[in-house]
Amino acid sequence: MIWTREKRYQPYSAYSEADKETLAEQVSSSVYKPAFHIHPTSGLLNDPNGFSYFNGQWHIFYQAFPFGPVHGLKSWVHCVSDDLVHWHNLGIALNPGNQYDSHGAYSGSAQVINDKLFLMYTGNVRDKNWQRRSYQLGAWMDENNQITKVNQPLITAPDYVTEHFRDPQLLKVNDEYFALIGSQDKQNLRGEFSLYKTQDLKNWEDMGYIKHNLGDMGYMVECPNLVYVDDKPVLIFCPQGLPQNILPTDNIYPNVYTVGSNLDFKTGTWYSDTSTLMQLDAGFDVYASQAVNAPDGQAYLISWVGLPEINYPSDKENWAHCLSLVKRLKVVDNKLYQIPVTAMSTLAVAEQTLPQNQQVLVTDTKQQYELKLDLDSNQTGNLLLASDGTSDNGLQLQFDTNNEGYLIVDRSNVGEKFATKYGETRKVNVNPHKKLSLDIFVDHSICEIFINGGEQVMTLRFFAPQTQTMIAFSEQNTLKYSGSYILLSDM
């Protein structure tokens, strides 16, 4: 199909029930469909939104275009969970269509207020000349998951920003509410964090841009997200056009974080002992991450596993992307650790200890598993996932726990190629002469690698033939290691 502008933005009513059934069947029959990651029932999934705990359940919404693997008229799809692992898809919850979101319900957040969940999101509107106007909008969700939109915008874009003004995070601080919004300054076309304040969710005070020491944020800041981890404020966001001297990156757009000491909401000032930005994920495909503080203070994070402006092999099946596993966050020495939530163990079906002194560790993985592997210090090797039994085909994890200390993920020989313009390898440094601990989740077309207890994470999509089911080392050797293979069920 040629996705013209008219097709992308025609009303959902233009699609018949037969159209919807055909699209859903393409996803359900796809060999690439994840088993224990949130994925679209049809069409495109992108940013996670409204991550929250409300009415005794976890809630996550994702931005969706249900009719193809493209960005078009966006809605929010609603998923709920009791444990952050088993998610139930409730379908479309927030529809576009009024005068303030006529061309899409874009990204946003959620906040529990009294006995309801308040959703704050960006409404996208285009005029007859296709000029965009953004509105920050509100909606209330009751305990029956019924949503009622607020009939007037909460915030309209100020004159000093361009049309790029979106992705509000609603925060409660004492008896006041604040909105953190990604924006582009009209005068210099640079990315900024806008801050607004209100007491009643109706009358909003523009506090201008947040003052910070982070340097040049590129031409746009998307998905700004403040979360408190071990009592430290962590600012997570997606700077577009970030200069390489600020943070070298191979991805088209990075997802970054910085650990501060305080965000002063009275003055709109970010305080930090360092201006250092860190990659949130050192892999290929993480973007638009959203974190939330639970009622007990713990911090959790989920990400879109997909990148803007990249074509993925599942596009030809009319669906695209998934969400990451939920990770619990902690801060150690001003570094953000990401750890799979404990309830992931409830997906385990069978576990086997890895054999010793063998090239092939597991013959038939079923392509949905967890691999726990501890590699001893002072050795080098090449671990193959999704392998056909040769060194020519598989996802390669090249490691050095000897003098250099690194882990390289290479997806150049693991099925269908895509996004090669941005490179086919990613590398992280690890401590030399020390054990390397890996906790790896593979789910048909997504791989999440947790390194040394979550100190670093590498997430990627790959699209290998499902007949490539071996876990092996690239050659017979005397590597020293220990670990286990755990077959996982569907979520």
Catalytic residues: 47
CA distances in angstroms from 342 to 39, 140, 292, 346, 389, listed in the order given: 21, 31, 17, 8, 33
Q: Which residues contact 50 (CB under 8 A, 6 or more apart)?
A: 59, 60, 61, 76, 108, 109, 110, 117, 119, 121
Q: Which residues contact 103 (CB under 8 A, 6 or more apart)?
A: 9, 73, 96, 124, 125, 126, 132
- The Cα 359–Cα 382 span in angstroms is 11
- DSSP bridge pairs for 132: 126
- The Cα 205–Cα 183 span in angstroms is 16
- The Cα 302–Cα 93 span in angstroms is 19
Contact 118, 140 (CB under 8 A): yes
Contact 318, 20 (CB under 8 A): no
- The Cα 431–Cα 451 span in angstroms is 11
Among 43, 160, 27, which Cα is nearest to 92's? 43
Contact 55, 330 (CB under 8 A): no
Among 485, 447, 479, which Cα is nearest to 359's? 479
Q: What is the largest CA-CA distance in the chain?
A: 68
Contact 168, 201 (CB under 8 A): no
Residue with tokens 């909401």: 265
* Residue 292, phi then psi, degrees to nearest 5: -145, 145
